[in-house]
Amino acid sequence: MNKLAASLLTLALATLLPATAAEKTDQKGEKKKAAPAAPAKPDADGFLPLFNGKNLAGFVQVGGHAKYRVEDGQVVGQCVPNTPNSFLCTERHYTNFILEVEFKVDPSLNSGIQIRSHYFDHLKEYEWQGKTIKVAPGRVHGYQVEIDPSARAWSGGIYDEGRRGWLNDLKDRPEAGRAFKQGDWNKFRVECRGDSIKTWINGVAAADLKDGYTPAGFIALQVHGVGNKETTMEVRWRNIRLKELP
């Protein structure tokens, strides 16, 4: 078969075979992207999943170089030596909401869940109690619901990451500290309504904060820096769901 005949045969076959969903073309012959998957529907309580259980679509990693992966329907964060705090951040920002998430953390690893948080590609300055707080470019900052497996047991307390420090620790809530289950799965419930931020750990009330400093921002899963430690430590999250409020 000569070259001209082969070319004509290839063209004929191409016109007969259907294009795949990802390769359909418009009238100008340009390729079109496949239609996105249908959005998830709220459950009976009005919650939507933030994590699809299969991959990290909808999230972006910022800060350090901790390793994030998906395993058995869970997000797994693994610490890496000589890197700063790492954050797996939602691409969307949220204002008023109820967040529920289960987590399991290595007893030697600190972690947390950012809410109403931000990062910028330029130096950001904040004014607080007559002082100027400077936040470096790329630095994640904002409210953090603490995951603290140490003897202090402040899981559920609220810390202002990269900015003002502790806003509502659990020194006066020993019952919340006792609710934490070492080496097992725990559950947070976080409610953000205007300037009110409340947390529960395993159904026990923890933080109760009034603070309107940052009204909206992303949600993120933190793997804390561990200095030069080479020990492999992990934190896991599952059943991450959110209900937006008016």
**Stretch 17-45: mean pLDDT:** 52
**Stretch 91-107: mean pLDDT:** 98
In CATH, what number is assigned to the domain containing residue 90? 2.60.120.560
Instruction: Give backbone dihedrals phi and psi of 195, rounded to 5 degrees, phi first.
Output: -90, 10
Q: With contact defined as beta carbons under 8 Å apart, do 84 and 64 qualify? A: yes
Give residue 182's pLDDT band: very low, low, confident or very high (50, 70, 90). very high
- Assigned domain for 20 exists: no
Give residue 39's pLDDT band: very low, low, confident or very high (50, 70, 90). low
Tens-place pLDDT, residues 108-155: 999 999 999 999 999 999 999 999 999 999 999 999 999 999 999 999
What b/e sequence results for 105-125 when a residue is b if at least 16 CB atoms lie within 10 Å of its CB, and e otherwise? bbeebbbbbbbbbbbeeeebe
Q: With contact defined as beta carbons under 8 Å apart, do 169 and 140 qualify? A: no
* Domains in the chain, number: 1
Q: With contact defined as beta carbons under 8 Å apart, do 137 and 151 qualify? A: no
Give residue 1's pLDDT band: very low, low, confident or very high (50, 70, 90). low
Cα torsion 104, 86, 94, 193: sign: positive
Tens-place pLDDT, residues 49-78: 999 999 999 999 999 999 999 999 999 999
Query: Tokens standing for 239?
Result: 């059943």
User: What DSSP designation does 188 have?
Assistant: E
Four-CA torsion 20, 26, 28, 31, nearest 10 degrees: -40
d(CA 57, CA 50): 10
Q: Please give the pLDDT value at position 45.
A: 87
Q: Please give the pLDDT value at position 18.
A: 41
Q: Please give the pLDDT value at position 179.
A: 98
Cα torsion 189, 117, 95, 207: sign: positive
d(CA 15, CA 165): 64
Q: Please give the pLDDT value at position 17.
A: 39
Pairwise pLDDT comparison (17 vs 117), residue with the higher score: 117
Query: Tokens standing for 43?
Result: 């459950």
d(CA 23, CA 46): 36
- Structural domain including 117 reads 42-244
Cβ neighbours, 10 Å, residue 200: 18
Q: Tell whether the model's pLDDT for residue 187 goes beyond 60.
A: yes
- Assigned domain for 3 exists: no
- Assigned domain for 174 exists: yes
Residue listed under structure tokens 């690893």: 109
Q: Of the candidates 39, 76, 38, 35, which has an alpha carbon nearest to the alpha carbon of residue 55?
A: 76
Q: Alpha helices of the chain — where are they, by DSSP H? A: 3-16, 174-179
Least confident range of 21-30, 132-141, 179-188: 21-30
- Assigned domain for 178 exists: yes
- Assigned domain for 23 exists: no
Give residue 34's pLDDT band: very low, low, confident or very high (50, 70, 90). very low
- Assigned domain for 34 exists: no
- Assigned domain for 13 exists: no
